[in-house]
């Protein structure tokens, strides 16, 4: 039995999934940045996420860190060169 890579087995259907990974990483970065940016603003009683100052900073920092990790893991898969491109 011949060993095949995941890319060969799944074919081009992986492209939308990879793009979605990038969007998800950017969403984590944006949400974390928004939480950290709004940490100093006063909260209204009907706030969507009524968290304290320190909690917003910590949660925002964790989301930014997770977004960076997801982005670093997703980028090589989206922008790697195919072996066929290098040979031809």
Tell me the per-residue pLDDT of 40-87, one tens digit each, with 9 for 90 and over.
Answer: 887 765 567 778 889 999 999 999 999 999 999 888 876 766 655 455
- Number of separate domains in the chain: 1
Range of the domain at 72: 16-41+50-79
For residue 8, being part of any structural domain is answered with no
For residue 9, being part of any structural domain is answered with no
Task: Report the phi/psi class of residue 11: left, alpha or beta, with left for phi > 0 and alpha for psi in -120 to 50.
Answer: left
Distance CA 42, CA 60 (A): 16
For residue 84, being part of any structural domain is answered with no
Distance CA 21, CA 87 (A): 28
Report whether pLDDT(1) > 60.
no
């Amino acid at each position: 039995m011949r060993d095949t890579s995941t890319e060969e087995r799944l074919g081009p259907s992986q492209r939308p999934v990879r793009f979605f990974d990038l969007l998800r990483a950017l969403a984590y970065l944006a949400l974390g940045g928004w939480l950290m940016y709004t940490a100093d603003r006063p909260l209204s009683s009907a706030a969507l996420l009524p968290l304290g100052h320190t909690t917003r900073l910590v949660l925002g920092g964790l989301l930014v860190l997770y977004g960076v990790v997801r982005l670093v893991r997703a980028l090589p898969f989206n922008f790697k060169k195919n072996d066929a491109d290098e040979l031809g």
